């Protein structure tokens, strides 16, 4: 965007903007129907890749299924996102963006595999003015070079550790711990400092 903003909203993507639980469940269904990979096996492979490779990388994940053609799995995952990603954007997201787009620059800040995250975001059909940062480093490190550009920043995330890292590194940032009733897999993970300014069930500036 060409406009110079003094205020910034940073939105985590998975479980904050995008219902990743629905995405994961759809993949389980499709893998079972097309490749006879049962949900338990799917989950074990996904967890293995998360542990070994920092993030769930498209290629590492599909290649972990030695008995199935990895390219077929890869194309299947891409097809699921092309067909369904826009359905999994939470209903309050677009209205929130439209409400604040004139006053705030709005960026997605997501931790993950660049290919998979770009596929999710691109096929989600978010407004054209939304930019994004994809990083495998911690979120405080990912935004270190841009924080000084803004007088006011609001950060939304569903993981306590991300809230803690950002707030401790940049105390001026207002932090929102997002706990959506229908999609909050990390809600019970402990905070090291109680660094969230607000706990919210959806997107709103307080």
Residue given tokens 């338990």 in the structure block? 40
Q: HSE on the CB side for 170, CA within 13 Å?
A: 23
Q: How far apart are CA 201 and CA 30, in angstroms?
A: 30
Residue 186's pLDDT is what? 87
Residue 125's pLDDT is what? 96
Average confidence (pLDDT) over 152-177: 97
Residue 53's pLDDT is what? 57
Residue 105's pLDDT is what? 97
Residue 147's pLDDT is what? 95
Longest dimension (CA), the chain: 53
CA 87 to chain centre: 15
Q: Are 152 and 8 a contacting pair, CB within 8 Å?
A: yes
Average confidence (pLDDT) over 106-128: 93
Confidence of residue 70 (pLDDT cuts 50, 70, 90): confident
Would you say how long the chain is, in residues?
206
Tokens describing residue 141? 């490190």
Condensed to tens digits (0 to 9), the pLDDT of residues 127-149 reads 999 999 999 899 999 999 999 99
pLDDT exceeds 80 at position 48: no
Centre a 10 Å sphere on the Cβ of residue 199 and count the other Cβ atoms it contains: 12
């Amino acid at each position: 965007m060409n406009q110079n903003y003094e205020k910034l909203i940073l939105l985590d993507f998975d479980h904050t903007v995008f219902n990743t639980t629905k995405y994961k469940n759809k993949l389980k269904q499709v893998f079972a129907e097309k490749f006879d990979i049962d949900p338990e096996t799917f989950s074990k492979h996904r967890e293995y890749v998360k542990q070994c490779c920092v993030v769930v990388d498209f290629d590492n994940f599909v290649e972990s299924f030695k008995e199935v053609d990895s390219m077929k799995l890869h194309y299947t995952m891409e097809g699921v996102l092309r067909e369904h990603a826009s359905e999994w954007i939470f209903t309050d997201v677009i209205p929130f963006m439209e409400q604040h787009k004139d006053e705030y620059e709005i960026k997605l800040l997501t931790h993950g595999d660049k290919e998979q995250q770009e596929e999710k975001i691109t096929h989600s059909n978010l407004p054209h003015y939304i930019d994004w940062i994809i990083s495998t480093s911690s979120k405080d490190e990912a935004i270190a070079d841009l924080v000084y550009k803004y007088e006011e920043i609001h950060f939304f995330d569903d993981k306590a550790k991300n809230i803690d890292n950002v707030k401790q590194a940049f105390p001026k940032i207002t932090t929102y711990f997002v706990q959506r009733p229908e999609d909050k897999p990390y809600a019970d993970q402990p905070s090291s400092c109680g660094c969230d300014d607000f706990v919210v069930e959806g997107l709103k500036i307080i």
